[in-house]
């Protein structure tokens, strides 16, 4: 009898642990699925949805430039998913992409020996990890981005940390993103503890909170405002935002990391951005990446 009770108690405990583990992603999954539904509904028929989703777009824009009938996987290429005029330029540039040199440079950096004889290949034996970051380190109880993991590899091997916005960092990340894309891997962000769930929630709060002298949030432009024009640019959407970094921006005339882009975006909101290696930035990117879970990694890529 005691043995039977012990077995029953063990099964209940295992079931409870399984349920609790699943609960850590429950809200994040609701958020992700709601976001997918929002954008699929918004772009199902832009002209018919003008009053609901596109109050500031012209009739010509809705009829002739904003693509309809989009599904969630389509959004991985940013505003080129719906911007018909932009798509033509995007596809033309992609025929001879300017980031190919960076991929080659990143491949060399990956294999290059440190002074102690180790290399990034020791820290990251499988380079097809672009979709796994940012990840929550359960030992340290904090979010680790790919950029911070690269710098930790450097410093743990007696090397100097790199800047987190461009240069060697962007080159190595371009190699990793491309390897991940060629392996046909997807974004795979995990939330496996209460601490990870809390980090996700803080990132979400940052994304949706109004700040700065414009009183704007990230969502003002990239959820509600997606496809609206600011000057001559169509605002991109949160869904798929992290799948294609690092990016070669024509404005930069070079490659930049996700941290670089987010720093500039937050500045545009009229506020001081969090530092690339700060807790705020890492948790913001953790939330954003989770929103693209299940989408194909498609970096590096091109943006205006």
| Catalytic residue set | 265
Q: Tokens representing 287?
A: 């939330």
Distance, CA of 303 to CA of 180 (rounded, Å) = 20
Cis? peptide before 205, omega within 30° of 0: no
Of the candidates 265, 249, 110, the residue with the CA atom closest to the CA atom of residue 178: 110
Of the candidates 214, 188, 228, the residue with the CA atom closest to the CA atom of residue 269: 214
Q: What secondary structure, in 3-state letters, does 128-167 show?
A: CCCCCCCEEECCCCEEECHHHHHHHHHHHCCCCCCCCCCC
Is the dihedral angle over the CA atoms 212, 273, 268, 298 positive or is it negative? negative
Contacts (Cβ under 8 Å, ≥6 apart) of 264: 273
Distance, CA of 134 to CA of 287 (rounded, Å) = 9
DSSP type of residue 66: B
Residue 145 in contact with residue 129, Cβ under 8 Å? no
Contacts (Cβ under 8 Å, ≥6 apart) of 117: none
Of the candidates 181, 171, 170, the residue with the CA atom closest to the CA atom of residue 261: 170
DSSP type of residue 222: I
DSSP type of residue 234: E
β-partners of residue 135 are: 144
Q: Tokens representing 235?
A: 């605002």
């Amino acid at each position: 009898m005691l043995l039977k009770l012990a077995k029953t108690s063990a099964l209940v405990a295992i079931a409870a642990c399984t349920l609790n583990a699943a609960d850590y992603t429950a809200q994040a999954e609701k958020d992700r699925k709601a976001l997918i539904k929002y954008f699929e509904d918004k772009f199902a028929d832009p002209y018919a949805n003008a009053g609901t989703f596109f109050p500031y777009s012209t009739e010509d824009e809705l009829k002739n430039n904003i693509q309809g009938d989009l599904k969630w996987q389509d959004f991985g290429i940013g505003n080129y998913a719906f911007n018909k005029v932009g798509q033509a330029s995007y596809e033309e540039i992609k025929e001879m992409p300017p980031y190919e040199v960076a991929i080659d440079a990143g491949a060399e950096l990956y294999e290059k020996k440190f002074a102690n004889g180790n290399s990034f290949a020791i820290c990251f034996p499988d380079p097809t990890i672009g979709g796994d970051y940012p990840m929550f380190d359960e030992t340290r109880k904090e979010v680790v981005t790919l950029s911070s993991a690269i710098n930790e590899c450097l410093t743990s091997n007696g090397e100097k940390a790199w800047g987190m916005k461009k240069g060697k960092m962007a080159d190595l990340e371009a190699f990793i993103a491309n390897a991940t894309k060629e392996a046909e891997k997807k974004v795979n962000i995990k939330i496996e503890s209460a601490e990870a769930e809390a980090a996700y929630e803080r990132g979400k709060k940052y994304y949706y909170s109004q700040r700065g002298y414009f009183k704007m949030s990230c969502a003002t432009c990239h959820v509600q405002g997606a496809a609206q024009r600011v000057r001559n640019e169509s605002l991109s959407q949160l869904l798929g935002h992290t799948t294609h970094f690092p990016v070669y921006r024509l404005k930069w005339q070079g490659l930049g990391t996700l941290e670089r882009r987010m720093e500039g975006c937050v500045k545009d909101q009229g506020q001081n951005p969090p530092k690339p290696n700060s807790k705020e930035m890492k948790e913001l990117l953790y939330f954003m990446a989770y929103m693209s879970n299940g989408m194909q990694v498609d970096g590096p890529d091109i943006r205006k």
